[in-house]
């Protein structure tokens, strides 16, 4: 890791051909299907998702108008689990809620979205059945916050990272008591500059982090980039599919990890737009396009996801990946065994 943090120059990695393996579909929900939840629709109101290993549920932040609530799906089947998580404490902001994450101690973090001069909030649920507490409130934010969020650690070691569309900086939040969070640092990462929604994910060392440059057109390609604690680029993973989207990182072996990316800008014309997983070795600064979804994440009659939003989640123990493509679909996929790279029995 010292070697990693010492490398401050951004170097784009050469990638072999993608999709040597295929993620196989477990279930899929979209508004073209009979019986799909009414809140999962062609609007742009469903942007956040997280897997909760404590319950085996997939948590989805939804603000479709019927309720600003974190919905619960059975991660094995996609069936909705009722009731949704208690939402009585959620108030304020430009969007009352936008993202949901699960920390290492099982607590559930929910955040809203605040445009400039609005109020940004962080909430914590002890579990899926307990009402939230307000962990952070910032009134009159100087720039938009809450388009993407990631949480790592547990208890007093929990750290939160937050970005906002068009915001050149990002905030990192820490806590001294586990319940109340404050801004520990505000970073302005080096090139590529933040434009549009900037996906973000903690690296496994809880110090460096991944971002993904936003694009402005369907045809643009983007680069997930690992950054050190100052925001300087360490190295980037070459991207060979269209669009830009969320990222999620989970470690699966010493000095190796999976980096999952989901395209967000779908466009209104049918395209083959998959979810993709990279096998990244940060020690050697190498990456392999390990697997992608067997089919596009778009609907049969796609809605344009012009906001560039969505989410990716992993169930490491169950070898599953989940992709949310806003306006289009939520889907669950089996991850193939990475033969010759890692033994899943380590877990």
Of residues 30 and 287, the one with the higher pLDDT is 30
Q: What's the pLDDT score for residue 171?
A: 97
Task: Tell me the pLDDT of the chain averaged across its residues.
Answer: 84
- DSSP label of 331: E
Q: Give the pTM.
A: 0.90
Burial code (b: 16+ CB inside 10 Å, e: under 16) for 193-227 equals ebebbbbbbbbbeeebbbbbbbbeebeeebbbbbb
Q: What's the pLDDT score for residue 5?
A: 37
Indicate whether 39 pLDDT > 80: yes
Backbone angles phi, psi at 345, to 5 degrees: -70, -5
Q: What's the pLDDT score for residue 122?
A: 98
Structure-token pair, residue 259: 């980096």
Structure-token pair, residue 138: 């910032």
Q: pLDDT grade, residue 264 (50/70/90)?
A: low
* Residue-range definition of the domain harbouring residue 12: 2-346
- The predicted-structure confidence for 217-253, as pLDDT tens digits, reads as follows 545 557 788 899 999 988 888 655 555 678 899 987 6
| pLDDT average, residue stretch 55-77 | 94
Where residue 105 sits, what CATH number does that domain have? 2.120.10.30
* Number of domains present in the structure of the chain: 1
Alpha helices by DSSP H, listed for the chain, are: 2-6
Structure-token pair, residue 230: 């100052």
Give the end-to-end CA distance of the chain in Å, rounded to a whole number. Answer: 22
Q: What's the pLDDT score for residue 195?
A: 52
Cα–Cα distance list, 284 to 3, 19, 248 (Å): 10, 21, 20
Q: pLDDT grade, residue 4 (50/70/90)?
A: very low
User: In sequence order, what are the residues at sequence separation of 6 or more whose Cβ sits closer than 8 angstroms to the Cβ of residue 162?
Assistant: 111, 120, 145, 146, 148, 149, 170, 171, 172, 173, 200
Query: Do residues 107 and 126 touch, judged by C-beta distance below 8 A?
Result: yes
- The predicted-structure confidence for 125-167, as pLDDT tens digits, reads as follows 999 999 999 999 999 999 999 999 999 999 999 999 999 988 8
Can you say how many angstroms the Cα of residue 235 is from the centroid of all Cα atoms in its chain?
20
């Amino acid at each position: 890791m010292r070697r990693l943090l010492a490398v401050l120059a951004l170097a784009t990695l050469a990638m072999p051909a993608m999709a040597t393996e295929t993620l196989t579909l477990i279930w899929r929900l979209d508004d073209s299907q009979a019986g799909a939840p009414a809140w999962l629709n062609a609007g742009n109101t469903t942007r956040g998702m997280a897997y909760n290993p404590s319950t085996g549920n997939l948590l989805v932040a939804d603000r479709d108008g019927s309720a600003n609530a974190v919905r619960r799906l059975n991660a094995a089947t996609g069936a909705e689990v009722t009731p949704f998580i208690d939402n009585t404490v959620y108030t304020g902001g430009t969007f009352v809620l936008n993202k949901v994450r699960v920390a290492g101690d099982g607590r559930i973090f929910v955040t809203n979205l605040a445009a400039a001069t609005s109020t940004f909030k962080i909430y914590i649920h002890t579990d899926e059945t307990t009402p939230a507490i307000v962990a952070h409130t910032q009134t009159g934010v100087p720039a938009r916050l809450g388009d993407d969020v990631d949480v790592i650690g547990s208890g007093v070691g929990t750290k939160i990272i937050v970005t906002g569309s068009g915001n050149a900086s990002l905030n990192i939040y820490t806590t001294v008591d586990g319940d109340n969070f404050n801004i520990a640092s505000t970073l302005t990462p080096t090139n590529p500059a933040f434009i549009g929604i900037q996906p973000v994910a903690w690296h496994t060392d809880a110090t460096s982090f991944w971002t993904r440059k936003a694009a402005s057109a369907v045809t643009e390609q983007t680069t997930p980039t690992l950054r050190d604690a100052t925001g300087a680029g360490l190295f980037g993973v070459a991207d060979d599919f269209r669009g830009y989207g969320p990222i999620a990182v989970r470690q699966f072996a010493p000095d190796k990890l999976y980096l999952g990316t989901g395209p967000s800008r779908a466009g209104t014309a049918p395209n083959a737009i998959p979810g993709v997983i990279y096998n990244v070795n940060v020690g050697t600064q190498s990456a392999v396009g390990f697997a992608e979804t067997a089919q596009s994440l778009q609907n049969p009659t796609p809605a344009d996801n012009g906001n560039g939003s969505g989410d990716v989640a992993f169930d490491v123990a169950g070898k599953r990946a989940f992709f949310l493509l806003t306006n289009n679909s939520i889907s669950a996929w089996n991850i193939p065994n990475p033969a010759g790279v890692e033994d899943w029995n380590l877990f």
